[in-house]
Structure 1
Amino acid sequence: MLDANIQAQLTAYFERITQPLELIASLDDSQGAAEIRELVAELAAVAPGKITARFDGQFERRPSFQITRVGQDMGVHFAAVPMGHEFTSLVLAMLWAGGHPPKVEPAVVEQIRALEGEFSFETFMSLTCHNCPDVVQATHLMAVLNPRVRAVAVDGGLFQAEMEAKQIMAVPALHLGGQPFGSGRMELGEILAKIDTGAAKREAAALSAKAPYEVLIIGGGPAGAAAGVYAARKGIRTGIVAERFGGQTMDTLGIENFISVQETEGPKFAAALEAHVRAYDVDVMTLQRVDQVVPAAQPGGLATVKLSNGGELKARTVIAATGARWRNMNVPGEAEYKTKGVAYCPHCDGPLFKGKDVAVIGGGNSGVEAAIDLAGIVRSVTLLEFADQLKADQVLVNKLKSLPNVTIHVNAQTTEVVGDGQKMTGLKFKDRLSGAEQTLALAGVFVQIGLVPNTEFLKGTVELSRFGEIVIDAKCHTNVPGIFAAGDCTTVPYKQIIIATGEGAKAALSAFDQLIRTPIV
């Protein structure tokens, strides 16, 4: 299972293990159990003396294996064959359990160790999901550091019957104590904030006590990162406040059009953005949601950025770079069956629909690429496009039409998501020319119809277009002095990563130009 190259890399990594480990497999007669047995044996063989393998585990979920320090009972479990995107999670869990320190702030380590109560996490994931490792790694780290925390990563493909019984149709899905706790990508700090009830209040006070910034950037995507680098290079006090770093790139699998980078993956690109920003003197504040921006009362004064946790930040200039999010269909049943059949990420959730019938809404590049990817996993794909023809690149359209299990409908208006109260069971659509209505029996639908700018917090503060985009001029000025904007949340045409980075740089330079020309009040 582990080729010679991977074994050589693991040998180097496992040199960092200072405390011996046990891998304890709990097996049955399934094919997955055979693969887990093989993987556990090969891992132990890479570092004899440091890692031992046992096959007498009594964990209730089989097949699975536990990672624990010898003589202890760490609550780190994989009910999976953690290859693909989860291989990194496996290696990190072994290093942490083996005594190698995690790359998190000492204060976070102490917060985890001080957690009171018992916590049993289950992360339902798929091996092709690029958002799942963040949740798996966060809960496993907590289980390594605190004996009162247990965490198991469950592969939905390996435990499909359990996924169906629990009505889990989107990953990552995090359960705590057997009950739903969170869905979608969650960082360690976000999970801690939900279980450590005093954390938000402490954090709000700490944020409010920070000194004013000369440039404060809202958003950590490509535009925000570029603005941060350009502002910091001017030697001015710079801060970035964001819900997460990377923005939409965290939900993008393949990036092949960022000039000079021939090919990369979204999460890898996002990590590079963050590393570049942190190489400079930028105060990065993630897991923070902005509720309101109050402009300065006069030129040269301080704007106030109000956060959802009650904290407030001050700045002489503000750059809004909040990006956009998936657009909803806004039809009956969509909200009710979101994560219960209605999905937005084919790479993450596609494997959960293996052998089933699904639909894709949208005939642009994203929709056609999603249909092509899904066709190799599911039984059938029906693509619905509102316009009279597909809008994707012709090479993609040709590929789609060559697939035997794909049906295409143009002039198709989706009217309703149908379900049984627990999960989606079908989709209704209308032919826009004939008016005829049809109902498709489906297990899922993947919505790929564009983006909505994240600008609700700026309504009534700056001028917005009828689409909700921030209206800017050629230098990224809004209609409010001291407030700038950049990237996909603005009226700039063509929502592309490379354009967003350029706009972020431009916004930072414009903010700096204003700062040097405006006396401080």
Structure 2
Amino acid sequence: MLDAATQGQLASYFERISQPIALIASLDDSAGAADIRELLTEIAAIAPDKITARFDGNFARKPSFQITRVGHDMGVHFAALPMGHEFTSLLLALLWAGGHPPKVEPEVIEQIKALDGDYDFTTWMSLTCHNCPDVVQALNLMAVLNPRVRHVAIDGGMFQAEVEARQIMAVPKTELGGADFASGRIELKEILAKIDTGAAAKEAAKLTEKAPYEVLIIGGGPAGAAAAVYAARKGIRTGIVAERFGGQTMDTLGIENFISVLETEGPKFAAALEAHVRHYGVDVITLQRVAKIEPAAQPGGYATVLLENGAVLKGRTVILATGARWRNMNVPGEAEYRTKGVAYCPHCDGPLFKGKDVAVIGGGNSGVEAAIDLAGVVKSVTLLEFADQLKADQVLVDKLKSMPNVTIHVNAQTTEVVGDGQKMTGLRFKDRVSGTEQQLGLAGVFVQIGLVPNTEFLKGTVELSRFGEIVVDAKCHTNVPGIFGAGDVTTVPYKQIIIATGEGAKAALSAFDYLIRTPSAA
């Protein structure tokens, strides 16, 4: 299962293991169980003095296996063959269980160890989901560090009957003690904030004590990252506050049009952005949402940025780079059946609809690419486009039309998501030319119809366009002195990663120009 190159790489990693590990499997007669047996056997053979594999486990869910330190009972379990995006999760669990220290702040490690209570987590994931590993790795680390934390990562494709019985239609989905805990990507500090109730107040007080910034950037996508790098290189105090680093790139699987980078994946690109920013000593604050901005009372003064957790940050200049999010259809049933058939990430959730009928809404590049990807997994794909023709690149349209299990409807207006109260069962749409209505029986629909700028918190603060975008000039100035805008959140046309990075650089240079021309009023 593991080729020679991979085995060689693992051998070098396993040199970091200082304490013996046991892999304990509980198998059945399924093909998945045979694959797990083969994988664990090969891993143990790479470092037999440090890793042993046993197949006498008696776990409730089969096939599955546990990773534990010999003499301990660590709560790290995989009900999966952790390959694909989850192979890194497997490797890290092995290293952590073997005593290799995680790359996590010491105070976070101490917070995990000090958790008082029993926590039994379950994560439903798919091996093609690029957001799932963050959740799996965070919970695995907690299970390694604290014996009262248990975690099992379940591949929805391997346990499809269980997925259907529990009506799980979007991953990652996390349960705590059998109850819903989180849907979608959630990071380690977010998990701790939800279960350690005193952590949020402590974090807010800690952030409020931070010294004011010369440039304070809101948003951690390509625009925010570029702004941070350009500002920090000027030698001025720079901070960046974001809900998550990487922005939309975290939800993008393939990136093939960022000049000089032939191809990469979104999460890898996001990690490179963050590494570049941290290289210049930028103060990076993540997992925080901004509630309000109060502009400086006079030129050269400090703007005040209020966070939702109650913290207060200050900056002589502020760069708004909050990006955009997927646009909703805004039809009856969409909100009711979100994560119950209504989905937005075909790479993450596509495997959950294997062998089923689905639809894609949107005929642009994103929609057509989603339909092409899904056609290789599901039974059939119906693509609905509101306009009279598909707007995607011709090469993509030609590829889509060549696929035998794809049906295309143009001039199609989606009117309702239909369901049985528990999950989505179909979709209604109207032909905009004839006026006739149709209903499709579907297990899922993937919405790919563009973006909405993240500017709700800015209403009344800076000028916004009728589409909600921040109005900026050629140098990224807003209508408020000292506040600048960059990237997809602004009126700059063509929402592309490379354009966002350029705009972020411009915004930082304009902010620096403002600083050197405006005497400080502090």
What's the TM-score, normalizing by structure 1? Answer: 1.00
Instruction: Quote how far apart the aligned CAs of 1:433 are.
Output: 0.7
Match of 1:47 in 2: 47
**Residues 143-184 of structure 1: CA deviation (Å, up to 9, x unaligned):** 000000001100000011111111110000011101110011
> Are residue 414 (structure 1) and residue 409 (structure 2) matched?
no
- Distance in 2 separating the partners of 1:59 and 1:241: 43
Aligned to 1:367: 367
Alignment match, 1:157 = 157
Q: Calculate percent identity across the aligned residue pairs.
A: 84
Matched letter for residue 60 of structure 1: A
Give the match for residue 25 of structure 2.
25
Return the alpha-carbon distance in structure 1 between the equivalents of residues 209 and 165 of structure 2. Answer: 48
Q: Which residue of 1 aligns with 2:181?
A: 181
Q: Secondary structure at the match of 2:304?
A: strand
Deviations 1:16-37 (A, max 9, x none): 0000000000111111111111
In 2, Cα distance between equivalents of 1:49 and 1:346: 42
The Cα of 1:195 is off from its aligned counterpart by 0.5
Q: Specify the SS of the correspondent of 1:245.
A: coil
Shift of 1:95: 0.1
- For residues 46 and 337 of structure 2, the distance between their equivalents in structure 1, rounded to whole angstroms, comes to 46
Partner of 2:261: 261
CA distance in 2, matches of 1:398, 1:35: 37
Distance in 2 (CA, whole Å) between partners of 1:147 and 1:109 is 13
**Residue in structure 1 matched with residue 206 of structure 2 by the alignment:** 206
TM-aligned CA deviation for residue 79 of structure 1: 0.3
Q: What whole-Å deviation, never above 9, does each CA across 1:291-314 have from its counterpart, x for those lacking one?
A: 100000000111000000000101
Counterpart of 1:496 in structure 2 is 496
Name 1:77's counterpart in structure 2.
Answer: 77
Provide the rounded CA distance (Å) in 2 between the counterparts of 1:70 and 1:212: 49
1:228 aligned residue: 228
- What's the counterpart of residue 131 of structure 1? 131
Residue 457 of structure 2 corresponds to 457
Secondary structure of the equivalent of 1:220? coil
Q: Distance in 2 between matches of 1:315 and 1:394?
A: 46
Structure 1 residue 317, shift from structure 2 partner? 0.4
Does 1:217 pair with 2:217?
Answer: yes
What is the CA distance between 1:190 and its match in structure 2?
Answer: 0.7
Instruction: Please tell me the residue identity of whatever aligns with 2:248.
Output: Q
Counterpart residue type for residue 135 of structure 1: V
Q: Distance in 2 between matches of 1:231 and 1:287?
A: 22
Distance in 2 between the 1:212 and 1:365 partners?
42
> Which letter maps to 1:332?
P
Alignment partners' CA distance in 1, 2:389 and 2:30: 46
Distance 2:421 2:215 in 1: 49
**Deviation digits for residues 88-126 of structure 1 (CA, Å, limit 9, x no counterpart):** 000000000000000010000000001110001101000
What is the one-letter code of the residue matched to 1:204? A
Write the deviation string for residues 217-255 of structure 1: whole angstroms up to 9, x where unpaired: 000000000000000000000000000000000000000
**Aligned mates of 2:179, 2:162 — CA distance in 1:** 14
| Matched residue, 2:483 | 483
Name 2:280's counterpart in structure 1.
Answer: 280
- Report the AA paired with residue 181 of structure 2: F
Cα distance in 1 between the residues matched to 2:391 and 2:509: 36
CA deviation map 1:475-504 (0-9, x unaligned): 000000111010000000100000000000
Return the alpha-carbon distance in structure 1 between the equivalents of residues 473 and 3 of structure 2.
55
- 1:127-150, CA deviations, whole angstroms, 9 ceiling, x for partnerless residues? 000000000000000000000000
Q: Hey, what's the Cα distance between the residues in 1 that align with 2:345 and 2:321?
A: 23
Shift of 1:206: 0.5
Matched with 1:106 is 106
For 1:172 and 1:450, locate their aligned partners in 2 and report how far apart those are by CA, in whole Å: 23
Separation of aligned partners in 2, 1:117 and 1:341? 34
- Establish whether residue 440 from structure 1 lines up as the match of residue 446 from structure 2: no
Q: Distance in 2 between matches of 1:311 and 1:99?
A: 36
Counterpart CA distance in 2 for 1:342 and 1:383 is: 14
Which residue of structure 2 lines up, in the alignment, with residue 7 of structure 1? Answer: 7
| 1:472 aligned residue | 472
CA distance in 2, matches of 1:60, 1:179: 18
Distance 1:28 1:461 in 2: 61
Q: Which segment is superposed worse, 423-432 or 29-38?
A: 29-38
Q: How many Å apart are 1:449 and its aligned residue? A: 0.2
Match of 1:321 in 2: 321
SS at match of 2:296: coil
Instruction: Specify the SS of the correspondent of 2:348.
Output: helix
2:117 paired residue number: 117
SS of the counterpart of 1:35?
helix
Give the C-alpha shift of residue 59 in structure 1: 1.4
Partner SS for 2:310: coil
Gaps of 5+ in 2: none
| Equivalent residue, structure 1, for 2:96 | 96
Partner of 1:352: 352
TM superposition shift of 1:58: 1.2
Gaps of at least 5 residues in structure 1 are none
Give 4+ residue runs of structure 1 displaced > 6 Å after superposition: none
| Alignment-derived partner of residue 246 in structure 2 | 246
Specify the code of the residue in structure 1 equivalent to 2:415: T
> How far apart, in 1, do the equivalents of 2:104 and 2:321 lie?
26
Return the offset for 1:349.
0.4
SS at match of 1:244: coil
Separation of aligned partners in 1, 2:513 and 2:396: 44
CA distance in 2, matches of 1:367, 1:233: 39
Q: Secondary structure at the match of 1:387?
A: coil
Q: Provide the C-alpha distance between the structure 2 equivalents of 1:407 and 1:340, rounded to a whole number of angstroms.
A: 23
What pairs with 1:167-178 in structure 2 (closer than 5 Å)? 167-178=167-178
What amino acid is aligned across from residue 54 of structure 1 in structure 2? R
What number of residue pairs does the alignment pair up?
A: 521
Deviation at residue 4 of structure 1 after TM alignment: 0.6
Q: Residue 16 of structure 1 aligns with which residue?
A: 16
Distance in 2, Cα, partners of 1:152 & 1:43? 20
Q: What amino acid does structure 2 have at the position aligned with 1:167?
A: Q
Q: CA deviation at 1:347?
A: 0.5
Deviation string, structure 1 residues 423-480 (Cα, Å, up to 9, x no partner): 0000000000111000000000000000000111101100000000000000000000
Tell me the amino acid that sits aligned with residue 229 of structure 1.
Answer: V
Query: How much has 1:281 moved relative to structure 2?
Result: 1.5
Q: Which letter maps to 1:365?
A: N
Question: For the aligned residues, what is the CA RMSD?
Answer: 0.5
> Residue type matched to 1:48 in 2?
P
1:418 is paired with a residue whose SS is strand
Structure 1 CA distance for aligned equivalents of residues 421 and 353 of structure 2: 19
Amino acid at match of 2:243: E
* 1:139-154 matches, cutoff 5 A: 139-154=139-154
